[in-house]
Structure 1
């Protein structure tokens, strides 16, 4: 049925993935009238069973989720990342004796939290419907008309939304970004990522491992127990495309042996559980984050290699920056689509995100090779950071979410995780 009058909001978010939904929740919690539109229905995104996917959420971004009302709605426990061990080596061989260890006791808090993808989706859906100032319109295909005076969003069922600002949160192939003619720079790595979960015999003690191998980084991240798996970890694995596809197709026992060759024996016997997810690795960055009454956030604006584990966390930092600007404007009676506000958002986020893209690109090229001279140099570098407490603490603060490029920040499933 066609609406007689358009829904009138300050902000319309297009895309209800973790970043877009968090922005809508944060604005809604502050009383900003907001609509969120997605082409998919939200309830089917709530996978009822464990499927092996999880998000590593930096400690600083947990505060954002708390302020948005999302964290309190998580239906399943999350697991703190209290220690991170960084090492170098080759499959089937002991890790180099030169390593880097981050201990949360040096900074007084966990580096981050592992939350199952299904749990975060359930929490986001609940929170979206709890805030009276949030209108959820899904499933709906939307067409967007932007003018200097405002934005009109039309859906296929005849609904209309009048907004002062539209936010693109539709992912790397953002139609709104393309409509605005915003160019992007892309980098391809010739690698694929593999995400899965493994049950293991011994407890992980809330420690994460980032193990650099010639084909790419291999990460183990601690997860909270699930039914039938009291000791559980996520695996994030990058390597050559052909190898990852072959590994993903292995029988369970053979796959477990390949994981064990890279992880080592410190967690005891391994058993894969849930699905194995693979995805191509690439990076991209939009040349602008804003246009007339338009702002880009998350993967619509940037995407990076998962080697530093900051993909989703960068998106959450976009949300923290943009929401703070929009909430202050709303309370002052301002226009959320004011070009000056949008320029301020771009100035806050684009340089930081571009610096992180550059840092992760350099890291991938440095660590994803087997040149003996480079291997020796990086091993000495890892050990040097370990032996310099002020530098080590700087890396730890970056891993917790202060936004600076961290060469060896926490590993994360989130950078290119398939959408739940």
Structure 2
């Protein structure tokens, strides 16, 4: 009852408020996805006449003079499709200055001898680029400054929100600076703990994995397979995957998923002890079982004897030398998915609509895919003389984004469950499947293409 009263209050608060400004689109959230959304609208010729408000609760990230080999502990793996978006926004040149190309992805099971590698079908095409988040945001913010139709309010959010029940009304927001604004469309890019999503009443799934991801910058001794450090490495352990992403020839970024209690213990270790445990985890074979490895090796030998199957690559993980920046941190992991990404005059994008396990590094790319889909939808609405907030158009965005996101989210969730166990039958089944898939290069090419 309290919740219903709260929603009723929110929806009616604007009756006594004077509207300060009207906007065609209001975007809440100025991070990786929200800023890209604003830039995409501002750069689109069909939408350039629209009046846009971007509410950004944070200050601009100011570039600092840093050592050449200094890197932040928060990075993203930028897929080729996202590179295309940034090229269209004229920000890729700025982002790519310190973008490390990933030539391939090597994955190993910590409970068996199974392993798999992924590459682009064209050797010259990277699987992804690893870039610090702040560099991406800075480039997008520069784009915002150059957009004449975007009112970018920093250190500003909303304190009250009225969402319409039909298209006869507008979205109304009271900002924390006292202004009251209305809009034809509200785009929520305010993250996994989206305030807009909560107020909207849209149903969503929220599953706590009971895991945390430790991040930090690593100094490495490159693997014999990868002298230039262009390979992304991942080792699946029963407690979660360990990911090592290349930053330059000598530095990599860590993403170590483990139980929340174990993450807390690891964070409290001195740097030297932490590095020692990390190196141990990368070569640990204590979880192997002869009952699994014996038949699996026989199966691998049979596969190797089949002429039309590709051969499996042998690889050795890099050795971690130190954590030069002493920048370890951890964040909790969960699965969040809104059952609908839209409502009347409302669209959810990025983590506000979906949050996935970071094992594949795809999360923010799904958000940027939302940006492309929603921009295309709004362009169609304008060309047809339609209402930007109409469900007639927004349903197309919802359907297209869900068709891409749901299969990927489901697959990653299943993989996390499948690899987060040392139950022998499960280990054997997944090991056989991984070893077979590793030799089916057409299937691997399709997987790389779909997730790119």
Q: TM-score range by the shorter chain?
A: 0.7 to 0.9
1:383 aligned onto 2:438: no
1:307–1:363 contact (8 Å) kept in structure 2: no
Q: Residues of 2 paired with 1:362 and 1:355: CA distance?
A: 11
Q: How far apart are residue 389 of structure 1 and its match?
A: 1.7
Higher radius of gyration, 1 or 2: 2
Matched with 1:20 is 34
Q: Residues of 2 paired with 1:155 and 1:374: CA distance?
A: 52
1:119 aligned onto 2:119: no
Residues 86 and 106 of structure 1, relative CA distance in 2, 3 Å threshold: farther
2:82–2:365 contact (8 Å) kept in structure 1: yes
Q: How far apart are residue 266 of structure 1 and its match?
A: 4.4
SS at match of 2:324: strand
Residue 175 of structure 1: which of 195, 206, 211 is its match? 195
Q: How far apart are residue 39 of structure 1 and its match?
A: 2.1
SS at match of 2:98: coil
Q: How far apart are residue 23 of structure 1 and its match?
A: 0.4
Residue 71 of structure 1: which of 92, 96, 115 is its match? 92
Q: How far apart are residue 309 of structure 1 and its match?
A: 2.4
Matched with 2:281 is 262
1:196–1:234 contact (8 Å) kept in structure 2: yes
1:185 aligned onto 2:205: yes
SS at match of 2:263: helix
Residue 284 of structure 1: which of 288, 312, 336 is its match? 336
Q: Residues of 1 paired with 2:199 and 2:205: CA distance?
A: 17
Q: What is the TM-score when the length of structure 1 is the normalising length?
A: 0.86
Q: Residues of 1 paired with 2:162 and 2:60: CA distance?
A: 24
Matched with 2:149 is 133
Matched with 2:186 is 166
What is the CA deviation profile of residues 280-324 of structure 1, one whole-angstrom value per residue up to 9, with x for unaligned ones? 111111122111111111111111122232211111111111111
Matched with 1:411 is none
Matched with 2:15 is none
Give the total of aligned pairs. Answer: 386
Matched with 1:210 is 234
Residues 183 and 375 of structure 1, relative CA distance in 2, 3 Å threshold: same
Q: Residues of 2 paired with 1:197 and 1:330: CA distance?
A: 45
Matched with 2:259 is 240
Q: How far apart are residue 107 of structure 1 and its match?
A: 6.6
Q: How far apart are residue 380 of structure 1 and its match?
A: 1.7
Q: How far apart are residue 246 of structure 1 and its match?
A: 0.8
Matched with 1:346 is 398
1:36 aligned onto 2:82: no
Large movers: runs of 4+ above 4 Å: 46-49, 105-108
1:60 aligned onto 2:78: no
Q: Residues of 2 paired with 1:127 and 1:42: CA distance?
A: 13
Structure 1 residue ranges without an equivalent (≥5): 91-95, 225-229, 402-420
Matched with 1:271 is 322
Q: Residues of 1 paired with 2:374 and 2:430: CA distance?
A: 37
Residues 205 and 132 of structure 1, relative CA distance in 2, 3 Å threshold: same
Structure 2 residue ranges without an equivalent (≥5): 1-17, 284-315
Q: What is the TM-score when the length of structure 2 is the normalising length?
A: 0.80
Matched with 2:25 is 11
Q: Residues of 2 paired with 1:302 and 1:48: CA distance?
A: 35
1:28–1:133 contact (8 Å) kept in structure 2: yes
Give the alignment's Cα RMSD to 1 decimal: 2.2
2:218–2:320 contact (8 Å) kept in structure 1: no
1:252 aligned onto 2:271: yes
Q: How far apart are residue 119 of structure 1 and its match?
A: 1.0
1:75–1:119 contact (8 Å) kept in structure 2: no
